[in-house]
Structure 1
Amino acid sequence: MTIAATLSTCSVAATASLPDSSAQQTQTVSSAYACQPDMMTRADNLRIYQIMVESFVDGDKAVGHGTGYGTSHHHGDLQGIINSLDYIQSLGMNAIWLTPVFESLPMEGQDHWADRLDATGYFASNYFAIDPRFGTLEQAKTLVDQAHAKGMYVFFDGVFGHHKGNVVPSPTGKLPVGESNPVSYPESLPFYQEVATYWIKTLKIDGWRLDQAYQVPPEAWREIRKSVDDASQSVTYQNHEGKQVHPLGYMVAEIWNNENYITQHGYGTNMQPALCSSFDFPVRYRLVETFAVNENGNGGKGGEWLNEGMALHRLYPEHAKPNLMLGNHDLVRFGDLLERGYLATPADEQYWARHKAALSFLAAYTGPITLYYGEEIGDEVADYAAKVYQDCAVQGLCDDHVARSSAKIDGLTVTLEQRQQDLKAYVSALMSVRAKHPALSQGKRTNLIATATAYIDHKQADNDKGVNEAVLYAVSTMDAASTVDLPVAGSGSEGVLTDLISGEQFQAKEGYYHIPLKGFEARFLLIEKPAASGVKLTTQAEMSLSGQGFMAQCDNPTVSDAGPMSETLYVVGDFTDSGWKHKDHRQYAYKGNGVYQAVIEEQAGAYRMQYAAKDWTPQFTADGLTLKAGEEGTLKRGGYGKDTAVTLPESGKYVWSLKFSVTGEPETVMVSKCPDAL
C-alpha cells in the first residue's frame, strides 16, 4: 500500500505566544520573574523515570506500609529505588521523580481507607521528615547522591495545596494556613517556600513535581519558583563528570486539563510568568487515542489528530515548556488501554508494536518527557481490561489506582520475557538517539505529513558541536504496512536519509523519498545534507470554521413556541469560563424547527463537552465523539465518559446548535463560527 502524501501548512515550534494575552495585562515587565534560561535549556533534555514509591520495589523487609491502592505488594521503599538505579540508568533515563516520601502520620481512629491514602504520601503530616515506612534520611541522601553520581537528576513530589489537618510545624515554626484542602494563599506561602527550599539545601534535590498545582495561585508559584532558584544557586554537588554543579531547579506542574486552563492556573502570561513547565495532558490523551484508546474507550485517531494537538502549543505563553508522558500513577497503563479497546493483548505482535509507536513519539517530542515505571516493558495488570465499578478500590482496580502495580525490574525482582526484553532494548535505543540528537529534544517542529495513517515531523536544532542538525521523525498510525511518499521539495533534505536506529539509508527517486513503514513502525531519519532553502510548505485551501444553513446562523430569533425538549439544555464542558458547570450564558434557546442554539464567546482551544440538562438527564453527544467546526454531525444520547471533542482554532463568537425530531429524538449537532462583525 502506498500513501500519497501532501505537505501540510502547519509549522509549530514547541513554544509560541498566547495570542493577545500580554497586551491585556496591567502589570509591568519589571515586576515579572523570568524562567531561568540555563534551567530551561537543560530541561529540554530531561528523560524522567517516574516511581510510585510504595508500589515500586521492596528493598528493605524491615519497612513498608503494607497497604495502599493498586495491586502491588505495598512494601516499596527507598532502598528498593537505590537497588534499581543501575536498571534505570540502563534505559537511558537521566532523572527520577519520586512520589511523596514525607512522613504521613495516621490520624487517631482513622479507617483503612485513610491508611491506604497515607501510603501514597499525598497527605503528608511532616513535610520535613522522611516517612520511616519508606526508610531514613540517610537512605534518602544515599539515593540522591548515587543518582547524581550516575548522571541522574532527582525530583521530589510537592503537595503545596492540601493536607489532612495534622501538619507539624516547620523547623522555623511555620504552618500552612486556612482549610486543609485547599490551604489559603498567600498566608501559607512562607511554609511551602520553606518546604521547597529545605530539601534542596538538605539533600540537593533538583526540583519538584507539583501535585494538583491548580490549588496554588500563579502569583504564589512565582514566589516559590524564585525561592527554589535561589536555594538551587546556594548549594552544589559533584555530578557524574566530576564537576561541581548547582541543582537544576526544575518544577513541573500537574494540571489535568486543557491548554487554556493550564495557562490560566499554571503558566501565567508572557508578562507575568508563573510556572515554567507543566505536564502535557492534552497531547497525552491524543497520543493514547491514536495508538490505543483513552480511559473511556475512545480511540481510532490518526496523524492529523496528533498534529492538531501539537499545533495547540501555540496557545501557551512563550516561556511554557510542556512535559509529555504516556501514563502515570493516576492513569490506566497503556497496555491495559490496549486491552480495554480490544486492540491487542501481550500475546499479539501489535501489542508491542503499538507500545513502540507511542514511546517513539515521546522520544521525538520537543521538551522534557516522563516515562512511568513499567512502560519500558509493556507492563499491564493481568486480566484487567474493562472498567471495574463494584469494590474497585478494595481490589486496587479503579482507573486511578490500577497502574500502581509492583515494579518488574530485570535481574532484581523478575527475569523479563523475550518481548519485554525487546521493548526495553528499544526504549534504551530511543533514549540514546534522543540524547545524541538535540534536534529531537530541542528542535523546532515543522509538520510535513499528518494523515489518517501516517505522521512526519521535521525537527531542527544545533547539536552539541554547534552544528545545525535536522532529523525527520516518521511513524505509522495504522496496523498495516505502507510506504509514505515524501516529496523532496520542501522536506528540508537534498541528500541521503539515514535511519538512526536501523542504519538503513534512503535516496530520493523522481522527486520523492519512499519511506517504508511496518504497522505502527517509527523511524528517526537523519538528514545528511540539509536543504539550503530549508523546509518549504505547500499551500492548502483555508478551512472554513463557519457552516451553512439555519444551524450555522448566529442571529436566529428565539421563538415562544414550545420545542420538543421539556428540559433546558446547556453546553457543558472543560471551558475556562465554566469548568463543567452549567452556566447561564451556555444555555440553549429554542429557535424553531426543532433547533436549539447558544451563541457564546469562546477562546481558541481544544475542548471536551456534552449537551445536558442541569441534572444531567438527558445528556447528548456527537456520534463518533468528535465534532469539527463548521460541519454538521449526528447527535446521539450521551453518558459518562462519552464527551464530544472539538477544536476551535480561532477565538470569537460561535453558535452551538442541536436539532431534535418532533418527538425529542436527537438528530443533528453543529458548532459554527459567527461573522466577526456580529
Structure 2
Amino acid sequence: MRFPVTNYVKIKSPDWSKDATIYQVNTRQFSEQGTFREVTKALPRIKALGSDIIWLMPIHEIGHKNRKGSLGSPYAVKDFYSVNSEFGSEQDLKMLIDTAHAIGLKVILDWVPNHTAWDNNLVENHPDWYARDYKGDFRPSPWWDWDDIIELDYNNSDLRAYMIDALCYWVKTFDIDGYRCDVAGYVPNDFWQQVRQSLDEIKPVFMLAEWEDRDMHEHGFDMTYAWSWNEVMFGIATGDLPLDKLRKYYSWNERAWPQEAYRMTFVSNHDENAWEGTPDEKFGPMLPAAIVLSVIGEGMPLIHNGQEAGETKRLAFFERDPIEWQPHFMHDFYKTLLRLRKSHTALWNGKHGARMHQVPNTQMNKVLSFVREDNQSKWFCVFNFSADTLEVSFAEQYYVDAYDAQLHAKGHQYTQQHFDLALGQSIELGAWEYRIFVKHYDEEE
C-alpha cells in the first residue's frame, strides 16, 4: 500500500525572512528615557548593524496587583489592547513601526498568551477563562515564582476567539509583521494553527515561539528557540560539557527538524541577561567564537540590545536600568558578521542556506570543523573550543581548496587573503581561536 507524501512543514515563511537576523529591544532599558521615540531614533543604527527584524518586548499596560518591583514585569499584561504609557502613546508606537518599515525593517511584538496580570480586565469580566488550582482558586504558575500572573484556560473557545481578535487587531491597526510568543508551548498547538490562519489572511506574518519543539513548526511558527545550542555552548565554555555535545545538537537539528524550520541561535536575551549573566560572565574568552558560530553556523542569530555595546551589566527586570551605551569592538564585529551573512546565500536561514557538513580533524575533543557550501561560496570553519594552543589537521577531501578570504580571531577581521589548504595540512589555533576560510565562486562556475 502506498501512502501520500506530504511536507512536514506547512507554514510558508515570508520571503523577507530568508536572510534575516533579529534584534531584541527592551524599550524600558533601551535609553535613559525608556520610550518608543528613543527606539525610533536608533532604528537607522540598528539597520546599519545588519539587523532585519525588531522584536519589541511587551508593549502593553502592566498590572498593579501583586506587581514585582516598582514597575512590574512586562509579561504581566493588564490589557491586551493597551499601550503602556511608560513607553509613550499609540501614535509613538505607530511612528516607530512606520519608520522601521520605511528603512526596510520588520517589527514583531512580544505576545503573552499563557497568562495575565491579576488585575487584567478579563479577571472581572470573564473569570471562567482562567485556570484554577485544586482549591478552585486562580492559578499562578505552580512550578515557578510567577506569582504576579495567573494562567488562562485554552479549553474555553471564547477565550481563543478573544485572543485571536486581539492578535489580529495589532496586525490590522498597527501593521506589525508578526509575534514572538512567550512560553508558546504552554498553549495548545491547535490554537496556534487557528492564530496563524487568521493572521495570514491579513498579511504574511513571522512567528517566533519561545519554545524548542519541532512540532511548533507544524502548528504556526516560523522559528523556535535553540535553547539547547545555548546551553551546550555555555557548558563547553565552563568545561562542564564535552564538545561532542555540540555535534549532537547539530546532528539532532539536521535529522529531527525539517530544514524549513528556522532555529534562533543566541548568546544572550532578556532572560539570559537578567537571570544568568552577561555574555562575558557566561562565556568568558569563548564569547567571540560563540558569536561567530551563532552567525556563520545554521540558525538565525539574535542580538540582544546592548550586545553591540559590550552588554556591560545585568539589566534589572522590574525597575528602570538603562543600557550603558558605549563604543565597543562588538559593534563592528557584529556588523562585519551580519554583512557577510546577508551577502552569502550559503549562510541564509533554513532551506534557503546550506547545511553544515562535518570535517573530521585530529583534535575532535577540542576542535569543531565543518563546511557550508552552495553554488556561490564555500565556507570552511574551524573553532578551537578549548583554552589550549594546538595544531590540528583534517581528514577527507571536502575542505581541500584554494580560498580567497578569511575571517580570523586575531583582530576579528575579514580580509581578502589567498590561502591554499592541502590534504593533511595542519594549522595552529590559539586558545578559543576560530578561523573561517572562504572561497567565492564565479557565476560561470
TM-score normalised by L of structure 2: 0.81
Alignment of 1:334-373 (within 5 A): 336=278, 338-339=280-281, 344=284, 350=285, 354-373=286-305
Could you tell me which residue of structure 1 aligns to residue 209 of structure 2? 253
Matched, 1:184 2:160: no
Q: Is the alpha carbon distance of 1:176 and 1:338 closer, same or farther for their aligned partners in structure 2, counting shifts above 3 Å?
A: farther
Alignment coverage as a number of residue pairs = 405
Q: Secondary structure at the match of 2:359?
A: strand
Which of 256, 260, 277 does residue 315 from structure 1 map onto? 256
Name the larger-Rg structure.
Answer: 1
Alpha-carbon displacement from aligned partner over 1:615-652 (angstroms, at most 9, x marks no partner): xxxxxxxxxxxxxxxxxxxxxxxxxxxxxxxxxxxxxx
CA contact (8 A) 1:176 1:192 kept: no
**Distance in 2 of aligned mates of 1:56 and 1:280:** 25
Match 2:430 to one of 504, 518, 529: 518
Amino acid at match of 1:430: L
What SS does the corresponding residue of 2:203 show, helix, strand or coil? helix
- Which residue number corresponds to residue 32 of structure 2? 58
**Structure-2 residue corresponding to 1:213:** 184
Could you report, residue by residue, the CA deviation over 1:176-204 in whole angstroms, capped at 9, with x for unpaired residues? Answer: 92334033235221112112211111121
Given the alignment of the two structures, is residue 407 of structure 1 paired with residue 323 of structure 2, yes or no?
yes
> Matches of residues 148-159 of structure 1 in structure 2 within 5 Å?
148-159=101-112
1:276 is aligned to 222
The residue aligned with 1:579 is none
Query: Quick one: distance in 2 between partners of 1:114 and 1:182?
Result: 23
Q: Are positions 1:326 and 2:326 aligned together? A: no
Distance in 2 between residues matched to 1:186 and 1:503, nearest whole Å: 60
Summarize the Cα distance change of 1:302–1:30 in structure 2 as closer, same or farther, 3 Å threshold.
closer
Residues 256-300 of structure 1 show CA distances to partners (whole Å, capped at 9, x for unaligned) of xxx6xx246x345xxxx443321110111112222x34xxxxx35
Unpaired runs of 5+ in structure 2? 132-149, 408-413
Cα distance in 1, alignment partners of residues 394 and 9 from structure 2: 44
Distance 1:78 1:337, change over 3 A: closer
Letter in 2 for 1:53: T
Q: What's the offset of the Cα at 1:525?
A: 1.8
> What are the equivalent positions in structure 2 for 1:294-313 lying under 5 Å apart?
299-301=239-241, 303-313=243-253
Gap change, CA 1:198 and 1:218, over 3 Å in 2:
same
CA spacing shift, 1:515–1:434, aligned 2, 3 Å: farther
Distance across 2 between alignment mates of 1:224 and 1:177: 18
Whole-angstrom CA distance in 2 between matches of 1:191 and 1:496: 56
Q: Are residues 513 and 193 of structure 1, via their aligned partners in 2, closer, same or farther at CA, if it must alter by over 3 Å?
A: farther
Note the C-alpha offset of 1:145.
Answer: 1.3
Contact 1:332-1:403 within 8 A present in 2 as well: no
Which structure shows the higher helix fraction? 2
| Alignment partners' CA distance in 2, 1:318 and 1:507 | 32
Q: Is the 8 A contact 2:29 2:321 kept in 1?
A: yes
- Tell me what 2:135 maps to: none
Residues 131-140 or 366-375, more deviating: 366-375
- 1:543-622 equivalences in 2 (<5 Å): none
Distance 1:35 1:359 in 2: 29
Residue 513 of structure 1: how far off its partner (Å): 4.6
Counterpart secondary structure, 2:244: helix
For residue 373 of structure 1, report the CA deviation from its aligned partner.
Answer: 1.5
SS in 1 for 2:108: strand
Q: Distance in 1 between matches of 2:391 and 2:128?
A: 59
CA distance, structure 1, for counterparts of residue 5 and residue 61 of structure 2: 40
2:10 equivalent in structure 1: 34
1:85 and 2:43 correspond: yes
Cα separation, 2, equivalents of 1:325 and 1:373:
12
CA distance in 2, matches of 1:153, 1:454: 37
Change (3 A) 1:115 1:357: same
Say whether 1:448 aligns with 2:364: no
Pairing 1:228–2:232 present: no
Q: What per-residue deviation string (whole Å, max 9, x for no partner) do you get for residues 530-578 of structure 1?
A: 9xxxxxxxxxxxxxxxxxxxxxxxxxxxxxxxxxxxxxxxxxxxxxxxx
Partner residue in 1 for 2:312: 380
Cα deviation code 1:202-261 (max 9, x no counterpart): 12111100001122101111111111211215xxxxxxxxxxxxxxx1111112xxx6xx
Who is 1:113 aligned against?
Answer: 68
Query: What is the alpha-carbon root mean square deviation over aligned residues?
Result: 3.3
